[in-house]
Amino acid sequence: MVPARRSVLGAGLAAMAVAVTGCGDQPRKAAPPATPFAPATRSPSPTGGPATTTPPVTPTPADYGPRLTAALTRHLKPTRENPQHPTFPGAVALVRQHGAVVGHVALGDAVRYEAGPVELPPARRVPMRPDAIFDLASITKVFTALLVLQLVDRGRVGLAAPVVDYLPEFDGPGRRPITVAMLLTHTSGLTEGAKVTGLPGPAERRAAVLASPLVDTPGRAYRYSSVGVQVLGHLVEKVTGQPLDQALRAGVTGPLGLRDTGFLPLGWAGRDRLVATDARSSRGLLRGVVHDDVANILGGVAGHAGVFSTAADLGVVGQALLDGGQYNGKRILSEGTVRRMLTNANAGLPAVDDVHPNRLSSHGLGVVLDQSWFMGKLCAPTTFGHTGFTGTSLVVSPSRQLVLVLLTNRSHPNWSWSDPDPARLDAAAAVAG
């Protein structure tokens, strides 16, 4: 079963006016304001229509594939960091730089165990493929944040507005000060996980999420809360009038052309591309079924977990943010909103994190910033991304114009067998040079 402690987020230092530890764990002065994405140039349309936006022209680097393969192959066996088991049965890594894919590799197995877990003989294993579809786990939160920020762009939601303005049933003792921005930055004071086990139906489960208790004063500290992003999922549904999976298709995956991204993949993906996660839970082998227990009880569609995707599709999401909210001529967010999304909103606040007790509180609106524990050598004040409990991660370096996606099935067959962070660090080092 998935523990209450979900995929660990990263957080970093954007422009704090104090010396703190961040990348490389060295004290650092406040960074000057930085542009989180490269300025685009405006070019006339060849058809005489509206001008098009194109990124700056820069040379394409050499292929990163061999470096990634070399860095990740060692994790297919026990390592110094994970001496009892391999870090993962398989992985897919992808790098985009200056707008182009410059590395895309697959290694190991998508399915290596059956329920039990019982290791399959080599002939029955399913090899990993570059277009394999993974359970993104908490990277789902980035997609939910995009949907919320689209509503901000349209003037339908205010970041500083109390959540109860949109969800009156969220009201309760101490809750009225909680704003939409607090949910996006994990400063709401809400508990980490919702208690939904054993409840009879969707209405009761929704009510339980919205009634989840406070464990801290709103706005006092960074304290990770999956509940907060679950609440945001309900907010999206209430404001748009659409179920969250439909809102995702309409707002993000459709405009960006992401055909291999969405909730409930058993309804739209071929089984041969689905990557396995747990193989020893009460639910048996999980393949195409969300790993997170709360998301599963909520029907597989939730604000905090449940999105499945490929490395290629997730790379497009990173590229769209890197390019100020647009990709391939399709804009999903305004440049101003993206700029705010990628700016630290938690300057000066303490952080409460039992997994990474020395982490910084810094966080953008739905993304984490400048955190060396998973960004490694790509870490910098403007570097942003997210991780997922199943072994997934997205790291975007604006200074390098680089997107790194690493998708692993480290929770197959048992999430407790390994720490996914050493592989994340090795992948970052392989592309950082």
Catalytic residues: 138
Residue among 413, 246, 320 at smallest CA distance from 40: 320
What are the DSSP calls for 223-288, one per residue? E--HHHHHHHHHHHHHHHSS-HHHHHIIIIIHHHT-TT-BS-GGGTS-GGGBPB--SSBTTBS-BS
Residue among 31, 56, 34 at smallest CA distance from 43: 56
What is the spatial distance between Cα 7 and Cα 256, in angstroms, rounded to a whole number?
25
What is the spatial distance between Cα 40 and Cα 1, in angstroms, rounded to a whole number?
46
Question: Taking a C-beta distance cutoff of 8 angstroms, is the pair 302, 233 a contact?
Answer: yes
Cβ burial, residue 42 (10 Å; 0-12/13-18/19+)? exposed
Helix residue ranges per DSSP H, 267-353? 293-297, 311-322, 335-341
234-240-243-244 Cα dihedral, nearest 10 degrees: -60
Residues near 331 by Cβ (< 8 Å), separated by ≥ 6?
255, 325
Which pairs count as long-range contacts for 179-184, CB under 8 Å and 24+ apart, including other chains? 179/218, 180/148, 180/152, 180/232, 180/235, 181/345, 181/365, 182/218, 182/219, 182/228, 183/225, 183/228, 183/229, 183/231, 183/232, 184/145, 184/148, 184/159, 184/228, 184/232, 184/345, 184/365, 184/366
**Token digits of residue 58:** 């820069």
**Token digits of residue 171:** 């009201």
